[in-house]
Amino acid sequence: MKLLEEKILKYGNVPTEDVLKVDYFLNHQVDTVLMQEIGKEFAEHFKYKNITKVATIESSGIAPALMTAIALGVELIILKKQSDKVLSEDILQVKTKSFTKNTYYDLTLSKKYISTDDNVLIIDDFLANGAAASSACKLIEMAGGTVAGIGIVIEKSFQPGRELLDNLGFDVYSLARISKLSPEKIEFLEELHIC
């Protein structure tokens, strides 16, 4: 997505070779016009998948996921990061490693928000090692729903997450795919245009 790539090049900064900070438009201040475009783009891409709900991971996935849910006219589920196990039959949890903090949390979903008829689109801000997205998929499936697709705003394609999700058989669509990241230069994967 051209507009997103331009924002990354203009406002992104790279504190270490594997982390991109986009606080200017996504993670601290939110560019609402960009979010609207992101929502429309995901909705357009997944429009034939009969999406019944969008799910995301708190908190940075919420802005793009909400715009996508609005564009699709469906509800949004926010999967929560809990620090403790919850002992309840209605609550599902999957232990997940945080990329940014290098600690573990329990990604949590209340069963009541997913039924066996649900086709869920998962949206997140970043894809790195794939832990967050694969845990989100696992939770939806444990609750009885189907994962219809995964929408990622920024994929760091040089990290293993994309291959992991592809190998698990998920339909992944990333709006910006970064092939190289360094404090001096950010490069994107070339898009294939099939005529």
3-state secondary structure of 18: coil
Residue closer to ligand 5GP (CB basis): 119 or 129: 129
In the complex, the smallest distance separating the C-beta of residue 119 from ligand 5GP, rounded to whole angstroms, is: 22
Residue closer to ligand 5GP (CB basis): 130 or 145: 130
Torsion, Cα 133 85 26 101, to 10 degrees, reads -90
Q: Which residues bind ligand 5GP (CB under 6 A)?
A: 19-21, 27, 57, 60, 99-100, 124-133, 161
Residue closer to ligand 5GP (CB basis): 145 or 161: 161
In the complex, the smallest distance separating the C-beta of residue 127 from ligand 5GP, rounded to whole angstroms, is: 5
Instruction: Provide the residue type at 83 as one letter.
Output: S
Residue closer to ligand 5GP (CB basis): 127 or 140: 127
In the complex, the smallest distance separating the C-beta of residue 147 from ligand 5GP, rounded to whole angstroms, is: 15
How many CA atoms does the CB half-sphere of 95 hold within 13 Å? 5
**136 touches 57 (CB < 8 A):** yes
Burial class (CB in 10 A: 0-12, 13-18, 19+), 171: middle
